[in-house]
Amino acid sequence: MIDSTPAAVDALPETNPFAHPWELDLELPDFAAVKPADIEPAIRAGMAAQRAEWEAIAADPAAPTVENTVAAVERSGELLSRALTVLYTLTSATDSPELDALEESLAPDLAAHEDAYGLDKRLYRRFKSLDELVRSATEATPAQVPVDADGQVIDAATARYIRLAVEEFEREGVALTGSDADRLRAINARLTALSTRFATLTTKAMHAAGVANFTATPELATTTPHAARLTLLARSTGRGLSGEYDTRALVLEEARLRAERAGLLGYPHHAELVASESAARTGQAVGELLTRLVPPAMANARRDREVYAARMAADPDTLPGEIFGPADWLRYEEAERKERFGIDDATLAPYLELHNVIEHGVFYAAGRLYGITFHERPDLAAHMYAPDVRVWEVRDGEGDEAPLLGLFIGDYYARPGKHGGAWMDCLVEQSHLTGRRPVVINCLNLTKPEAGPTLLTWDNVITAFHEFGHALHGLFADTRWPSASGTNVPRDVVEFPSQVNEKWALHPQVIASYARHVENGAPLPESLAEKLRGQGAFGQGYATTEYLGAAVLDQAWHTLEPQEVPADVTAVEAFEHAALEGAGIDDALVPPRYRTTYFAHVFGGGYAAAYYAYIWSEVMDADTIEWFRTDGEGGKDGDLGLNREAGERFRREFLSRGDSRDPLVSYRAYCGRNPQIAPLLRRRGLN
């Protein structure tokens, strides 16, 4: 058995908070105890410790077994994981130039560290040997249970882990030798540095411009006159095109290096490499989905344009010669919404107070579906990185005697330096191997009022439910291997539980629980709730097209060969336009949700060639919502699926499984069928 105790921890002084495991409940990181100067020594010691652990595994003369190979790899890197969790949390959620610089400086070393594992042929051979053992046993007699050299049964989840590990080694280039292997290492190091720099610059550009992270900043809905909207949109779309936050050179180098890397690994382009490890499996499948959706979405957008253009022409604020364009969508769509449905953000806001939305909406729906309860822990919140961050313990049932499931952290407010948008992270991964329970965090970017309650827009409400769907995926994890736990699933599956969770925001019993007037507690009038539910596909012409535009751009950049990537930064905008036009999207009418120069998902995050994942996941989401309402245990007693039987089945068969089995198998286990696209087409008005 391999001793995985990280000897390099001894290199840290006792005063370094990373020298010992966290002492807070469930190993919640003690952010308040960490100084910036503590982090780099811990990361470097952690890398050294894990390299020593990997070397011991690779050099072990004993035959590979689940314990001396799989479990040993999964236990490795404790110190590094704890240190990186703190670094990445602080750089994404706080104003920390010192740590931003540290993240950038460490990027090449961390890439090299990952390559030390992924390109180690000895480690690959150990996993390959185990994989062949499993295959030979099951191919000879399908019912036979494979057993390793220690006599330990290799169960289905472990067999899947081993197979995926082999595929990952092969996909990451373990077979490369000589100059090709050296070039791959250099590319990986440079790509990590570039994406880290891109994320830093786009965050700074967003704060400098005073806009949201996406193109159609919400202020467009309330800005007059037309000229002011044009200025605001130009400020949003101009990010990254010039000046100190210019990201064009980074984009071109990333695209070129990703294309070169794909070629080294035997793929025609980066998008095909990404698809190969996703539920889509092929780039052709991704392309076929986008191609199917673009024409009806664009047709809907053009139809809506005629309605909004007429409304703008009749607006007394419109001056002669001003015509409807991309800066005007939100303003006149909101006006149309109010006239047609009698609702807008101003009408709804007094009923959407943050505390009520979270505790009596998001938590309430989760309790009805899954039986979990939430208990705030201000004592733990005192150890977080900002005073307005809240912490709850989550229990699997009612009362103090109910089993402790995990911790949930809510960081809801914007602050200087915080990345734009919203996200979920897992600060501690659930694992039966380590005995750990999950600690998850949701981050939003709400404007904190100087005084009084925090009132939300309807989009804010949906975002809160969405991100908590990710949190549930992490909290319900019930797997042995940490790397297969919770949200550690393919990119085009990870958005599925979050999109399902959005739909409970409009459930009659849920909205009645949280939508209460901030001054007198009166419930949202049922007539308004019905109008919210009755909007159907309203606004989907623009919303679907702007999303598809971003997905098309992502695929366009990542289906290039190295020599096809433009050499001149001035070609970026022309490339964008040509890619969108070629896909049938009129970007002069509907700009993409993210333009290339501030597309952080793709050039500063983990969604390169995978932004299509949201719509791919929505196919499963829309179909699952129909299942909740009608099939299985859904629709019980007219509750539209908001019941424990349906929730428990979804939790047991999908949310708890992580990547311990094929997500499609998990889907069929509760739904009884493969996902169908028809519900998505109906939802978005594309049929």
Q: What are the backbone dihedrals phi and psi of residue 427, each rounded to the nearest 5 degrees, phi first?
A: -85, -25
Q: What is the dihedral of CA 216, 219, 223, 226, to 10 degrees?
A: -10
If residue 446 lies in a helix (H) or strand (E), which one and from where to where?
Answer: strand 439-446
DSSP string, 632-655: TTTTGGGSTT-SHHHHHHHIIIII
Six token digits for residue 563: 């020599």
Q: Are 280 and 616 in contact (CB under 8 A)?
A: yes
If residue 280 lies in a helix (H) or strand (E), which one and from where to where?
Answer: none
Q: What is the dihedral of CA 141, 143, 147, 151, to 10 degrees?
A: -120
Give catalytic residue positions: 467
Six token digits for residue 226: 């037309």
420/604 Cα distance (integer angstroms)? 12
How far out from the chain centre does Cα 254 lie? Answer: 21
Rg (alpha carbons) of the chain, rounded to whole number: 25
DSSP string, 562-631: GGGS-SSGGGHHHHHHHHHHHHT--TTTS--SS-GGG-HHHHSSS-TTTTTHHHHHHHHHHHHHHHHHHS
427/430 Cα distance (integer angstroms)? 10
Neighbours of 656 (CB within 10 A): 19
Q: What are the backbone dihedrals phi and psi of residue 29, each rounded to the nearest 5 degrees, phi first?
A: -60, 135
DSSP string, 61-100: -SPP-IIIIIIHHHH--HHHHHHHHHHHHHHHHS--HHHH
Sign of dihedral through CA atoms 323, 328, 332, 337? positive
- The amino acid at 577: H
596 Cβ contact list (under 8 Å, min separation 6): 240, 248, 251, 553, 557, 572, 575, 576, 603
Peptide bond into 508 cis (omega under 30): no
Neighbours of 471 (CB within 10 A): 29
101/107 Cα distance (integer angstroms)? 10
